[in-house]
Chain A
Amino acid sequence: MPEAALEGIRVVDLSQGIAGPYCTRLLADLGAEVIKIEPPEGDLTRRLGPFPHDLPHDDKGGLFFHLNTNKKSVTLDIETQSGRVVLRKLLANADVLVESEAPGRLAEIGLGYDNLKVEFPDLIYCSVTPFGQTGPYRDYSGNSLTCMALSGLMYITGDPDKEPLCTGGEPADYFGALQAWVAILAALEHRAQTGEGQQIDVSILDSLGCANEYNSTMYAYLGAIRKRFYSRHHIPTYPSEIFPCKDGHIVAVGGATGFPLMMAVLIEQPELETNVLFQNLWMRTIQWQQFEEILRPYLDEHDWQDLLTRAQELRMPFAAVLDARSLLENEHLRERGFFAEVEHPEMGRVPVVAHPFKMSETPLRVGRSPLLGEHSAQVLEALGYDAGDQLILRERGIA
């Protein structure tokens, strides 16, 4: 088996939900040993679907599976002093701690960064919360929807005559996960050079706000407040929009060289090359209804595969609008091996949404999510708890 990039790195993961767990999934897929500490009733997402046949089961949650591959699960009640004794033993040999509790919550039980840094000076302590550890909203609660709203991204998403729209799939949480992951890796580099650990404060709202493209810049440079306007941009790329076609949807993009000729050729009306809407970008952007009247009838009569293939032959960056089914069935993704399959003891063969990038020397690992408490015995034993100790911890509801 090839070496993994993060071999030898141990992560104690107290986080729940989406952002923290997806961050530690990336670390685990890269080869770090991630010990997921769950309360005895399990991570919150174990109770969220989708479940096979909608039958709830701690070990069969589809979202939990997606967010927790390659981790070890240890149940531990850190609300108890006895649970915290076990946790501190784990931290003695850990490089990274990730947590997602409300700011100050862990400090109340002696597990804040300030409580731990003297004992564990090389520990990297990363908190991932909706609004971060500082600022007037730090004690507010939030989710992807609130972060979309406050970041300014929701105001510019959706139709102008309807309410602002949140992007699907809990996007802010995933941005928070990525920024936390980058920060932990940077802190590992810092530690390799200096020997010192540190505290990392990740706000999911900040993480999404970093990604505003040119929304704040349009105000800071032009005094212009962008408003949601279908799927359309101000940067000079019109149409670049999702249009209906015969069997679904297609993204029609002219790209750097598509206008005036290639788009006219694609829709089999080469004479449109001289049309002012094909010649002049801003004219086309402004008189978009007229442009759509030309474009839409052709798209309506053709399948997306056909449009995609022919547009790409003409070097126009048309794109497919894929959904869950067509992603799983997509020939390109299949050839790249994006959806790996693993055997899960409770669910059988399950596809894994695999890796956001491929590494030539240290391929990311494909694995499954752990059963609740699956690694409790193994991890406790390694810490020196014999079978008798484990029984007592179990009986008292601590481990």
Chain B
Amino acid sequence: MSLPLAGVRVLDLTQVYAGPTCTRILSDLGAEVIKLEGLKRTDITRNFIMPENDSQGDFWNHAGYFQERNSGKKSVTLDFNDPEAVELAKALVPHVDIVAESFTPRVMAKFGLDYESLKQIKPEIIMVSLSGYGQTGPWRDFTAYGMGLEPASGISSVTGYRDGPPLRTGISFTDPYSGVVGAGAVLAALVYRRRTGKGQYIDLSEQESAIPVVGHAVMDFALNGRNSQRIGNRSHWYAPQGCYPCKGDDAWLVLTVRDDAEWAAFCGAVEHPEWVPDERFADVLVRLANHDALDALIASWTREQDKIEAMHLLQKAGVIAAAVLNAKEALLDPHLKERGLYETIDQEGIGPRPVPRQVGARFSAFETDSRRPAPKLGEHNREVLQGLLGLSDEAIARLEEQNVIGDTPRGTPAGDIPLDVLRMFVQWPTSTFLQMGSIAALETEYKHDLGIDQ
């Protein structure tokens, strides 16, 4: 069973979240992805989330954050501060179909690795640049983090409690979003190349890629001059809709009632048939007008309910409802489990852990390759540099000696950070997070609960 991108090779210069999501999707679909990192510029996410918070040994090969987005890739270390490394990267170009990068726009040109240069080396190359604000326009040189791009794309302007300030999603929303967009853009370019033999350049602005999510708000302003509004968990179209407290600590249920039939179904399911004819809630107009009173009424019922049981009760009656799950509950949810959203990946030195898939769809003709470990730093130096470029053992030894390639981080471009300092930094103050309230619980038996205690 061959995967659709078998035989496609990707040179991956991306780091952190958006770019690595794009290339991991290509990898799961069968592409061979060669990830380039510098010893002084390792992917920073190799420092994020150590198993058991343990930063001993080669911790940079154990990070959970890195694993999620780099499963199945090959790792080659080439330090771009070294001209020889840049030449080696260029020498790889004829062997690849796709180059992916996520630097700010001027960087690739500085290295002579911009599209115009790559095209000279290999005319049919497909190159995708994922940057915060794109390759043109007055903001093109802005540095960008994912946490700034969700607000810059407009999404935060419609996210927040009613009459409250704009808020951000608990994830760096535009990173995974633009990562999936990038994978689709590359696939479209591959379809075109198959037909015509021609490559091309893809300019992906992570800000722009997510603006379509607020298409409704943009069109409302364009058509009516009405600016973005924050409506909490309510709906533009249906009432009631909201998030209601349930029995237990921090337990919540969301639900949406769209029409009279669903309202009657809801009242029946919660055994309050007298609410159906109640004139405050009897039709779609008064349900909207009396939303606050309706919320109080619904909460008077939900407060006495278990959120999971309430979800099933309402869904079986035909009402849109769902329990608000925390990470543990989502990992253990029977539906997500049967769907296989989390794949168990067994990484050397870490043991089996559930990792979310990055390709969301399930295919009847093939199964995506999404259970492979992430590469150790420099794990494939020899395989790639000798296999593709034919470097001799002596040449490899010399590059290792000169620290152009290697298997151990060597600080940052700004300066050397001793590994022991980094070891302290990569341990997270989890018990303090618990006191602050940014962590709801810190459980010691979690491996048992997840069924991954070997």
How many contacts A-B (CB < 8 Å)?
A: 575
A157→B326 contact, CB < 8 A: no
Is B354 an interface residue, CB under 8 A from the partner?
yes
Instruction: Enumerate chain B residues within 8 angstroms of A233, measured Cβ to Cβ.
Output: 147, 172
Chain B at the A interface: mostly helix, strand, loop or mixed? mixed
What are 30 pairs between A and B in contact, CB < 8 Å?
A: A5-B188, A50-B216, A134-B362, A140-B315, A155-B252, A156-B327, A166-B159, A169-B159, A182-B187, A182-B359, A187-B365, A189-B5, A193-B4, A206-B357, A211-B171, A218-B327, A218-B439, A224-B430, A226-B440, A244-B165, A251-B152, A256-B412, A286-B432, A322-B157, A323-B154, A324-B154, A338-B211, A353-B219, A355-B208, A360-B115
A227→B438 contact, CB < 8 A: yes
Contact among A198, A213, A320, A336 for B151, CB-based, below 8 A: A320
Contact among A171, A175, A236, A351 for B360, CB-based, below 8 A: A175
A356→B145 contact, CB < 8 A: no
A167→B155 contact, CB < 8 A: yes
**Cα–Cα distance between A192 and B267 once the two chains are bound (Å):** 53
Instruction: Enumerate chain A residues within 8 angstroms of B208, measured Cβ to Cβ.
Output: 333, 336, 338, 355-357
B335→A51 contact, CB < 8 A: no
Instruction: Enumerate chain A residues within 8 angstroms of B333, measured Cβ to Cβ.
Output: 150
Task: Kindly identify, within residues 201 to 220 of chain B, every residue whose CB is under 8 Å from any CB belonging to chain A.
Answer: 201-205, 208-220
The verdict on A223 contacting B444 (CB below 8 Å), with A62-B223, A165-B232, A357-B185 known, is yes
B181→A220 contact, CB < 8 A: no
Task: Kindly identify, within residues 157 to 184 of chain B, every residue whose CB is under 8 Å from any CB belonging to chain A.
Answer: 157-161, 165-173, 175-178, 180-184
Contact among B222, B325, B357, B450 for A62, CB-based, below 8 A: B222
**Cα–Cα distance between A218 and B148 once the two chains are bound (Å):** 22
Instruction: Enumerate chain A residues within 8 angstroms of B407, measured Cβ to Cβ.
Output: none
Instruction: Enumerate chain B residues within 8 angstroms of A53, measured Cβ to Cβ.
Output: 223-224
Instruction: Fill in one digit per residue for B109-128: 1 if any A CB lies within 8 Å of its CB, else 0.
Output: 00000010000000000001
B440→A227 contact, CB < 8 A: yes
A218→B49 contact, CB < 8 A: yes
The verdict on A217 contacting B364 (CB below 8 Å), with A151-B330, A338-B208, A351-B222 known, is no
**Cα–Cα distance between A328 and B154 once the two chains are bound (Å):** 10
Closest 7 CB pairs of A and B: A319-B148, A168-B158, A62-B219, A156-B170, A179-B360, A183-B361, A223-B446
Residue of A nearest to B171 (CB): A213
**Cα–Cα distance between A248 and B219 once the two chains are bound (Å):** 22
Is A180 an interface residue, CB under 8 A from the partner?
yes
Measured CB to CB, the closest approach of chain B to A29, in angstroms, equals 10
Instruction: Fill in one digit per residue for B310-338: 1 if any A CB lies within 8 Å of its CB, else 0.
Output: 00000100101111111111110111101
**Cα–Cα distance between A52 and B2 once the two chains are bound (Å):** 51
B224→A50 contact, CB < 8 A: yes
Instruction: Enumerate chain A residues within 8 angstroms of B361, measured Cβ to Cβ.
Output: 126, 179-180, 182-183, 200-202, 206-207
